[in-house]
């Protein structure tokens, strides 16, 4: 599917109205785009040097329970959008709050501080909710209240992005993500996802619906192997995309794109590197105007295709706004590759600017 550049016409004096689709003239009417408290503010991206524009396109990972000096320097210079925290980064409420304060102190813009806080067993901060698993939340009808309570706890801890809710719905026996899904029914899952999005937003934490366009048809997690999902285009649109449509209608500010391959949409590229998936399905068909973030770029499904540096360039060319790095040494490879490509190619440089504006607007809102 050929890319268009209609969104670039919105660039005036370095200001992009964030949320505009890169295919705006061809897109259907945006769903839930108006009135969003996260993704409708203009971002003065033109005031940033190219090094900082590129930085808005990367989230990094680090080891330890305090912020290393190099991470604080990167955030101060605007060479990353933020950081993702894992269990080895957090010990208790006091230490976590001190860590996030270190990350924010002196940062060029409010850093995106992200955690996987889905519920049940998938909680980076184990002293916070949602205590129930997604399916338990769905059965009890507590998706919104559980997410709101968890969001309030995360805000106190200094965390502003939750990599939840999961919008995948099992469509095969033994689906890899069945234990993390709200329901095996697409309609019920869609309602639960929308309620959870509203709950996270109520608590003033940005939710991230995942893993677009749905990996419920996978028996292997893309973290561990390559995945091809043989769902027809009709099945994807009528079933798998239901929860994502409802999340967008609920003004979800971030969508995480997965790494599976969907031959019905794109025979040659995994989803995170596919223009047809990101600009076609997500932006043009579903009308999403917010920030697109990848799943971990070190996933086995990515490394089976290419290294992290080339993957990042492909991600951004396809329409991704943030490349999520979670492995040792990956951040600098990704950052350098994106910066070099932006310096070399004016078309890619414009693509970087477009994404940087979206991310900067989200940072300003969360600040």
For domain 6-366, give its CATH number from 3.20.20.300, 3.90.1170.50, 3.90.1150.10, 3.40.50.1000.
3.20.20.300
Phi/psi of residue 82, nearest 5 degrees: 165, -160
Six token digits for residue 270: 């995994």
Task: For 196-229, write each residue's pLDDT tens digit.
Answer: 999 999 999 999 999 999 999 999 999 999 999 9
181: which 2 tokens?
């899904």
- Residues pairing with 323 in the sheet: 58
Which pLDDT value is given to residue 85? 98
User: How many residues are present in the chain?
Assistant: 367
- Phi, psi angle pair for 185, to nearest 5°: -100, 125
Can you give the three-state secondary structure of 183-238, one letter per residue?
Answer: CCCHHHHHHHHHHHHHHHHHCCCEEEEEEECCCCCCCCCCCCCCCECCCCHHHHHH
Residue 46 pLDDT class (50, 70, 90 cuts): confident
Give every CB contact of residue 180 below 8 A, 6+ residues apart in sequence: 118, 120, 122, 133, 134, 166, 168
**Average confidence (pLDDT) over 322-349:** 97
- Report which of 272, 338, 349, 335 is spatially closest to residue 77, judged by C-alpha positions: 335
Q: Average per-residue pLDDT in the chain? A: 90
Name, in order, each residue with C-beta under 8 angstroms of 160's C-beta and a sequence gap of 6 or more.
110, 112, 113, 154, 205, 206, 366
Please tell me the distance from the alpha carbon of residue 326 to that of residue 129, in angstroms, as a whole number.
23
- Per-residue pLDDT reduced to its tens digit, 154-190: 999 999 999 999 999 999 999 999 999 999 999 999 9
């Amino acid at each position: 599917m050929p890319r268009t550049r209609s969104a670039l016409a919105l660039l005036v004096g370095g200001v992009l109205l964030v949320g505009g689709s890169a295919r705006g003239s061809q897109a259907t009417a945006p769903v839930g785009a108006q009135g969003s408290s996260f993704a409708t503010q203009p971002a003065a991206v033109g005031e940033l040097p190219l090094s900082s524009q590129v930085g808005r396109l990367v989230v990094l990972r680090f080891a330890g329970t305090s912020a290393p000096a190099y991470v604080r320097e990167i955030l101060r210079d605007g060479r990353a959008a933020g950081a993702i925290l894992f269990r080895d980064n957090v010990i208790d409420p006091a230490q976590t709050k001190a860590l996030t304060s270190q990350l924010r102190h002196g940062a060029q813009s409010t850093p995106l501080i992200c955690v996987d806080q889905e519920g049940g067993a998938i909680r980076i901060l184990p002293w916070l909710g949602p205590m129930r698993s997604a399916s338990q939340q769905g059965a009890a009808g507590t998706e919104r209240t559980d997410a709101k309570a968890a969001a309030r706890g995360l805000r106190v801890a200094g965390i502003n992005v939750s990599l939840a809710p999961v919008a995948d719905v099992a469509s095969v026996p033994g689906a890899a993500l069945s234990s993390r899904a709200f329901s095996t029914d697409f309609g019920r899952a869609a309602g639960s996802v929308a309620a959870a999005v509203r709950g996270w937003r109520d608590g003033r934490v940005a939710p991230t619906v995942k893993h677009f366009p749905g990996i419920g048809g996978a028996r292997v997690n893309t973290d561990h192997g390559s995945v091809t999902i043989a769902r027809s285009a009709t099945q994807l649109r009528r079933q798998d995309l239901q929860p994502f449509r409802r999340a967008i209608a609920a003004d979800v500010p971030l969508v995480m794109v997965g790494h599976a391959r969907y031959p019905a949409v794109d025979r040659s590229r995994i989803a995170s590197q596919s223009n047809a998936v990101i600009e076609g399905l997500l932006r043009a068909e579903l009308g999403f105007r917010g920030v697109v973030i990848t799943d971990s770029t070190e996933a086995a499904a990515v490394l089976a295709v290419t290294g992290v540096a080339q993957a990042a360039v492909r991600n951004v060319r396809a329409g991704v706004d943030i490349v999520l790095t979670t492995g040792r040494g990956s951040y600098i490879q990704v950052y350098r590759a994106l910066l070099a490509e932006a310096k070399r190619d004016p078309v890619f440089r414009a693509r970087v600017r477009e994404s940087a504006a979206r991310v900067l607007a989200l940072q300003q809102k969360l600040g």
